[in-house]
Structure 1
Amino acid sequence: MIPEVVYSKYSQAMFDIAKEQGKLDIFGTELKAVRDAMQENPDLQKFICHPLIQPGVKKDTLQKIFAGDVEPLVLQFLYVMIDRRREAAIVPAIDGFIDLARAAQNIEVAKVRVVKALTVAEEEKLVAGLEKMTGKKIEPLYYIDPSLIGGMVIQIGDKLIDGSLRRQLRDMQHKLLQADVTNGVTDE
């Protein structure tokens, strides 16, 4: 794990530039795409982090992959990290930028576990309800979890909303067992 001190100054510098230029959303979206590409392609990550590959070759590769899809300043952010031999900190630095941008825009991440994918209308209704409940803009991250049986589990920061059928069944079982004990019912 890379210490925060190694990447936080890069995150903060990129955040300051994005905020100054009014491009928090644009840079955030583009940096997420870079991060996702690196996480989804371990070979790309290994290539960028390989100590024997020259920085110019790494920058040329990133230029070919991302040039038409990201702002020049986003590429420059990556180039600076490569020039300073901080390639392994690129993904954490991007995550740090995203955290700073979310905080500045009053955005809260909601991790939503569902049995199956929601429809667009269901997603919109859920996000609207969560935004009303929290008073913040919600960025949902959806995860499929068949073990829930039905319903959903939502985590926003340290708050957990468990509306799963699995939890409801567990609660019902607990109440029934408590009722049996208090009524003196036995299995004879």
Structure 2
Amino acid sequence: MIPESVYRKYSQAMFDIAQESQLLDTMIADMKVVRDVLKDNEELRKFLGNPLITAKAKKETLKAIFDTSVSALVCQFLYVMVDRRREAAITEAIEGFIDLAREAQHIDVAKISLIKPLTAEEEKMLVTKLEQVTGNKIEPLYSIDPSIIGGVVIKIGDRVIDGSLKRQIHNMERALLQGGAVNEVTD
């Protein structure tokens, strides 16, 4: 685990630059592209983390991958991270930047666990309702979790809305046990 202080200053610097140049939305999109590529490509992460590979080779590889898909400013950020031997902190620095940008734009991340994917209309209705409840914009992150049996579990920051069938069964079981109810099976 990389200490927060190592990558936080890079996150803050990129955020400040994005704000000053009024490119926050563009920078968020570009940083998400880099984050997703790094997340999905273990070989690239290993390559960047290899201390035997020169900074020049790492920067050339990053340029080949990202030069046409993200802004020059984001590429420069990556090069600075490589030059300062902070390759292991790139993903965390990007996540830190995205968190700062979300906070500035009053966006909450809603981690939504479901048994099956929602339709586009259902997603829109759910996000609209969550925005009304929180008073902030919502960025939904959906995941499929068969263990909830049915319903939905939503986590926004420290808040949890557990409407899962699993939770309802657990609550019912607890109520029955606390009430001293006994189930009898008769012939």
Q: Name the TM tier (shorter chain).
A: over 0.9
1:140 and 2:108 aligned: no
Q: For 1:82-115, what per-residue CA distance to the aligned partner results, in whole angstroms no more than 9, with x for missing partners? A: 1111111111110110111011001111110000
CA distance in 2, matches of 1:53, 1:104: 37
Task: Give the equivalent residue in structure 1 for 2:128.
Answer: 128
Aligned to 2:31: 31
Q: Which amino acid in 2 is paired with 1:35?
A: R
1:8 aligns with 2:2: no
Other-structure match for 1:93 = 93
Q: Normalising to structure 2: TM-score of the pair?
A: 0.94
Inter-partner Cα distance in structure 2 for 1:36 and 1:74: 14
- The alpha carbon displacement at 1:46 in A equals 0.8
Specify the SS of the correspondent of 2:111: strand
Question: In structure 2, the residue corresponding to 1:38 is in which secondary structure?
Answer: helix
Quick one: distance in 2 between partners of 1:85 and 1:175? 56
**Are 1:21 and 2:21 counterparts?**
yes
Structure 1 residues 73 and 166, CA, compared in 2 at 3 Å: closer, same or farther? same
- TM-score after normalising by structure 1: 0.93
Give runs of aligned pairs for residues 47-58 of structure 1, distance below 5 A.
Answer: 47-58=47-58
Cα distance change of structure 1 residues 171 and 73 upon mapping to structure 2, 3 Å threshold: same
Aligned to 1:151: 151
In the alignment, the residues of structure 2 paired with residue 187 and residue 62 of structure 1 have an alpha-carbon distance, to the nearest angstrom, of 67
Structure 2 letter corresponding to 1:161: I
| Equivalent-residue separation in structure 1 for 2:57 and 2:176 (angstroms) | 67
Residue 111 of structure 1 pairs with residue 111 of structure 2:
yes
The CA distance in 1 between the partners of 2:171 and 2:5, in whole Å, is 45
In structure 2, distance between residues paired with 1:11 and 1:140: 22
Distance 1:175 1:78, change over 3 A: same
For residues 30-81 of structure 1, give each alpha carbon's deviation from its aligned partner in whole angstroms, at most 9, with x where no partner exists: 1111111112111101111111111111111111111111000000000011
Secondary structure of 1:118's counterpart equals coil
Q: Measure the CA separation in 2 of the matches of 1:6 and 1:153.
A: 33
Which secondary structure does the structure 2 equivalent of 1:53 belong to?
Answer: coil
Alpha-carbon deviation of 1:178?
A: 4.1
- Kindly state the Cα deviation for residue 174 of structure 1 after the two structures are TM-superposed: 2.9
Question: Structure 2 vs 1, CA of residues 186 and 106 (structure 1 numbering), >3 Å: closer, same or farther?
Answer: closer
For residues 114-171 of structure 1, the C-alpha deviation after alignment (integer angstroms, 9 at most, x for no partner) is: 0011111111001000000000111111110011111100011111100011111222
Cα distance in 1 between the residues matched to 2:166 and 2:19: 44
Determine the C-alpha separation between the residues in 1 that align with 2:53 and 2:62. Answer: 13
Identical counterparts, % of pairs: 59
In 2, Cα distance between the equivalents of 1:186 and 1:112?
35
DSSP 3-state at the match of 2:150: coil
Give SS of 2:69's match.
coil
